[in-house]
Amino acid sequence: MPENHGPYLIRGARPLGGDPVDLLLRDGAVARVGTGLEAPEGAEVVDADGLIALPGLVDLHTHLREPGREDAETVETGSRSAAMGGYTSVHAMANTDPVADTAGVVEQVWHLGREAGLCDVRPVGAVTVGLAGKQLAEIGAMADSSAAVRVFSDDGICVSDALLMRRALEYVKAFDGVVAQHAQEPRLTEGAQMNEGCVSDRLGLSGWPAVAEEAIIARDCLLAQHVGSRLHVCHVSTKGSVEIIRWAKERGCDVTAEVTPHHLLLTDELVEGYDPVYKVNPPLRTEEDVLALREGLADGTIDVVATDHAPHPVEAKETEWSNAAMGMTGLETALAVVQRTMVDTGLLTWEQVADRMSVTPARIGRVEGHGRALGEGGPANVVLYDPAAPVDVEGAAMATKSSNTPFRGMTLPGRVRATFLRGVPTVLEGKIA
Amino acid sequence: MPEGTRAVLDGPEIDRALTRIAHEVLERTKGGHEVTLLGVPSRGVPLAQRLARRIERVEELAVPAGSLDITMYRDDLRLAPARALGRTEIPDGGLDDRVVVLVDDVLFSGRTVRAALDALGDLGRPRAVQLAVLVDRGHRELPIRADYVGKNLPTSLRENVDVRLSETDGQDAVLLGPARPRAGAAETGEEC
Amino acid sequence: MRHLLSAGDLDRDQATLILDTASELAQVGDRSVKKLPTLRGRTVVNLFYEDSTRTRTSFELAAKRLSADVINFSAKGSSVSKGESLKDTALTLQAMGADGVVIRHSASGAAHRLAHWVDGSVLNAGDGTHEHPTQALLDAFTMRNRLGTLEGLRVAVVGDVLHSRVARSTVQLLTTLGAEVTLVAPPTLLPVSVHTWPCEVSYGLDAVLPESDVVMLLRVQAERMRESFFPSVREYTRNYGLDGERLGRMPEHALVMHPGPMVRGMEISAEVADSPRCTVTEQVANGVSLRMAVLYLLLGGS
């Protein structure tokens, strides 16, 4: 990417959905905000009439698959996908091969992100060696590495050992880190294939009961409060989890939580045809859960939207349900799904969307230079989003290497027109710049 | 009665035709002692029952009567969705060495009779097989002829012969009218 | 009817048509020539990913009695065991011109997936813990033959409902056909949402027996005990096993059914298994007629 990009003048964008203004991006920062700004010499003008301007999105939960599963995604293709979705920073989960449980691996991922240059890739470090849940990984070394890891997670696997979880929560306090827990009681979910309920019983698929998530969340909230640590709960999926987190926050526990776009929109009824594109962990739940999650996100019980973007090659999904991999892609559809489920329903304003998808995730992940207001002097990380440009979702048309989007065949209400990372466009006119 | 349709046989005429056939069967089978009547569903079955009763009246002879469904032997199965099966009821004593008289309402292409002959072959070894029909409307597509005919009825391929019997339709009549289009069976027709 | 994947897909007319057709085809087994020419030139593939000699043989015999060409494609010793995916196997069968595929698979939903990948008809011969529609149909057929009607019939299904594909199909089919089903099992062996199913539920067998026209016993695998679904075989048998004494408390006309294979001494005593009221062998014979009916209705037409 050329380093010496000229200034960009964004004309007529609506910051946080407010009145149209012009934004001048120069030298990585928002240089001026106002109406009727003159284009400086050499500036490129971007017509943003009718577009919403938000601070560049920050994803706390992304699977970039590299190293190890480059057939599904690489840091580069995942970065493209992120940019196309309006993200300027993503957290790359640790369940790679080898696992990101050493300073060496997290630095490798961090370097690959820098090379791709399309968004700031923040590696997540594993909590335990090899995600095995037996022994703490070298969390401190990862924190001190050039990747400066602040989020630690065994995502995909729950840190189910209560004592180990307690130690991890305590240990990360030393460098203001946070443990992001994948809440899944392992014994209650042995062989689990989908949400346990009417649909699983009818389809004869082993159930993943809501209580397996809720029990761990309750335990971890109590643990975090006991040791005075920060806890982040990954991909909350049940009504009961929302209630427990609400209760924990009320009693002063320093807990944050995320919800995925797919859990805000899709339900387990979709599993009826046994198409593994709907197989995900935690599983799609019921309508009642979906409504509770939306409400929780609206009232702040759930702090952020995180994609859990989980690319898989075709063969991992074109198979029998029980044989198929769990996970869905999500970076490129996240904002549109949030618009449909939260904005168009009147549950969130665009300002609150910016909070849930940029400001707060950056704060939880301690991501410098992201999630800041679009004011003069702030970093020029900007996404321009068209909320009135319906998209027919098609897996093959995406920048991600994989096509396992559960939204395929659906029409989503809007699309990202442009993304700027430190004043440099990564996406312009809906294409990688 | 639908427009353009006319009755070619009424109830009493059907009665007389069956009575005549009963007499012919007795004559040709030399008293009918070895005869078994097999009706082809659906309307061949009540016709076979009626023939059996008439023979019984004439000769005081109980003629076994049953039914022979030919659906599984049809040559046009793939032209239409799978059909429900009719009943096959072979009278006690079976078919070996009997003179089997197949009974159907209309003889047309001859394909039903071909199928019935195949079906018979899987059920036993009759001494002879004969064919009785209420109406022969011509247009044979196979080398098959009836031994007993109630009425020869010259027809056009654009016409349809509809036999109604009180047992199945509430009244006795043979109607001739314009052909009805039939899904997948337009060429061969239900009445083969 | 293009495929038979789930008993729940059948409406009352379709289910009745299958049973009526089976009634007619049952005669074929008594004839000197036990064969019909109906499916001549059609190819039926038995794709069995699980060992089940009895079900495979039943389908094979049914297809052969209809003159279909039958290919047995078992997972063992074929490319399937070398890691070929279900999709590739499906495409292979497709290329070979299979008109119908009978699939038995350990994964719930495998038949549904297969139906996406092949043009021919797919017949679910048991998928994981999901469904086994022809077993439910042949059981209904057996009940109707013995007791005359299914309307209002009181059927107790006893045993490991949670893991039973037969139970899932049976509840749906018998409800469609007007019977009243009661599931009888310890709570651990019932699905959590069983109260939403169109049937009654009882935790005790003894209360249900005197009011049942049919008691259908499901196989209970001893490994369920190791998974703590029940404490011991002895306790299971004491509470849910059908022995001669319990048989005596059933109405005179009541039947004992079992989809097989039976575990004698577990869910059924030898005395009951060998009693004339136990229809197990009749179920096997009826299975051939019923499967002929399904194959005919799926493959016999256009």
Average pLDDT of the segment spanning A302-327: 96
Nearest alpha carbon to residue A371 among A1, A104, A120:
A120
Q: Is C87 in contact with A323 (Cβ distance < 8 A)?
A: no
DSSP line for A117-151? -SSEEEEPBPSBGGG-SSSB--HHHHHHSTT---E
Which residue has better confidence, A15 or A2?
Answer: A15
A2's CB contacts (< 8 A; 6+ apart) are none
C-alpha closest to that of C110 among A193, A31, A128: A193
CB contact under 8 A, B73 and C27: no
What fold is seen in the domain A56-365?
TIM Barrel (3.20.20)
Mutate to test the interface with A, among C173, C192, C226, C227 (most CBs of A within 10 A): C192
Number of Cβ within a 10 Å radius of residue A401: 21
Q: Is the pLDDT of residue A2 over 80?
A: no
Of A331, A322, A426, nearest to A73 by C-alpha is A331
CATH 3.40.50.1370 fits C133-279, yes or no: yes
**CATH number among 3.40.50.2300, 3.30.70.890, 3.40.50.720, 3.40.50.1370, domain C7-131+284-299:** 3.40.50.1370
Give me the pLDDT at residue C29, please: 85
- Kindly report, residue by residue over C33-48, the tens digit of the pLDDT: 899 999 999 999 999 9
Number of other residues whose CB lies within 10 A of the CB of residue A387: 20
3-class secondary structure per residue, A350-389: HHHHHHHHHHHHHHHHCCCCCCCCCCCCCECCEEEEECCC
Amino acid at the residue A397: A
Handedness of CA A60, A66, A69, A73 (dihedral sign): positive
Q: What is the chain B residue with the closest CA to C27?
A: B88
Q: Specify the higher pLDDT residue, B14 or C226.
A: B14
Q: What is the pLDDT of residues A325-357, one digit of tens each?
A: 999 999 999 999 999 999 999 999 999 999 999
- Chain C: residue nearest B94 by CA? C31
Preferred mutation among B87, B122, B125, B182 to probe C, highest tally of C CBs within 10 A:
B122
Q: Give me chain A's average pLDDT, please.
A: 97
The residues, ordered by sequence, that sit 6+ positions from C192 with a Cβ below 8 Å of its Cβ are A196, A197, A201, A207, A209
Counting one residue from B and one from C, how many pairs have CB atoms under 8 Å apart? 52
DSSP C239-281: HH-B-HHHHTTS-TT-EEE--S---BTTTB-HHHHTSTTB-HH
Per-residue pLDDT of C102-114, as tens digits, reads: 999 999 999 999 9
pLDDT of residue A9: 97
Is there a contact between A292 and A384 (Cβ–Cβ < 8 Å)? no
Nearest CA in chain A to C189: A201
Q: What is the structure's pLDDT at B187?
A: 38
Query: Which chains does C contact via 3+ CB–CB distances below 8 A?
Result: A, B
Confidence of residue C76 (pLDDT cuts 50, 70, 90): low
For residues A128-155, average pLDDT: 97
Residue A106: CB atoms within 10 A of its CB come to 27
For residue A132, give Cα distances in angstroms to A107, A220, B93: 21, 19, 77
The ranges of chain B with pLDDT < 70 are 1, 181-192
- Interchain proximity C27–B88, CB inside 8 Å: yes
Which one from A101, A308, A355, A386 is the annotated catalytic residue?
A: A308
Instruction: Tell me if A301 sits within 8 A of A259, measured CB to CB.
Output: no
* Confidence band of C80 (pLDDT split at 50, 70, 90): low
Contacts of C299 (CB under 8 A, 6+ apart): B82, C39, C42, C44, C68, C99, C100, C121
Dist. CA A152–CA A180, nearest whole Å:
6
pLDDT of residue A369 exceeding 80: yes
Cβ-based neighbour number of residue B169 at 10 Å: 14
Q: What is the pLDDT of residue A255?
A: 98
Quote the crossing angle between the two packed helices C53-65 and C280-299, to the nearest 10°.
50
What kind and span of H or E run contains A405? none
CA distances from B24 to B19, B55, B130, C227 (A): 9, 10, 12, 78
> What are the structural domain ranges in chain B?
6-178
- Which residue shows structure tokens 């899709």? A266
Residues A296-314: what's their mean pLDDT?
Answer: 98
State whether residue C230 sits within 8 Å of chain B by CB: no
Instruction: Provide the pLDDT confidence category of residue A101 given band limits of 50, 70 and 90.
Output: very high
Q: What are the domain boundaries of chain A?
A: 8-52+377-432, 56-365
Mutant choice from C18, C19, C31 vs B, greatest count of B C-beta within 10 A: C31
- CB of C183 closer than 8 Å to CB of C199: yes
| More confident: A214 or C86 | A214
pLDDT at B188: 39
**pLDDT of A4:** 54
Q: Specify whether the CB–CB gap between A27 and A423 falls below 8 A.
A: yes
Asked, as a colleague might, if the bond just before A153 is cis with ω within 30 of 0, I would say no
- Residue A290: helix, strand or coil by DSSP? helix
Contact A343, A334 (CB under 8 A): no
Alpha-helical regions (H) of chain B: 11-28, 44-59, 111-123, 166-169
Kindly report, residue by residue over A14-66, the tens digit of the pLDDT.
Answer: 999 999 999 999 999 999 999 999 999 999 999 999 999 999 999 999 999 99
**What subunits touch chain B, counting only 3 or more CB pairs under 8 A?**
C
Topology classification of domain A8-52+377-432: Urease, subunit C; domain 1 (2.30.40)
B118–chain C Cβ distance below 8 A for any pair? yes
- Taking only the tens place, the pLDDT of each residue in C175-213 is 999 999 999 999 999 999 999 999 999 999 999 999 999
Residue of A301, A157, A153 lying closest to A239 (CA atoms): A301
How far is C73 from chain B, CA to nearest CA, in Å? 26
Residues of A in contact with C165 (CB under 8 A): 204
The verdict on A314 touching C (C-beta cutoff 8 Å) is no
For residue A105, pLDDT over 70 is answered with: yes
> What does residue A412 show for φ and ψ, rounded to 5 degrees?
-100, 150
pLDDT tens readout for residues A176-209: 999 999 999 999 999 999 999 999 999 999 999 9
Domain with CATH 3.40.50.1370 in chain C: 7-131+284-299, 133-279
Residue B148's DSSP bridge partners are B132
Q: How confident is the model at residue C79 (pLDDT cuts 50, 70, 90)?
A: low
For residue A11, pLDDT over 80 is answered with yes
Residue of B nearest to C65 (CA): B72
Mean pLDDT value across residues A390-403:
96
pLDDT at C17 over 50: yes
Query: Which two three-digit tokens encode residue A111?
Result: 């370097």
Tell me how far apart the alpha carbons of residues C234 and C225 are, in angstroms, rounded to a whole number: 11
* Whole-angstrom distance, CA of residue B104 vs CA of residue A178: 86
Put simply, whether B69 touches C (Cβ < 8 Å) is yes
Could you give the ipTM of this predicted complex? 0.93
Q: How far is B32 from chain C (nearest CA, A)?
A: 26
Give chain C's largest Cα–Cα span: 56
CATH top-level class of B6-178: alpha beta
**Single-letter amino acid code for the residue at A224:** A
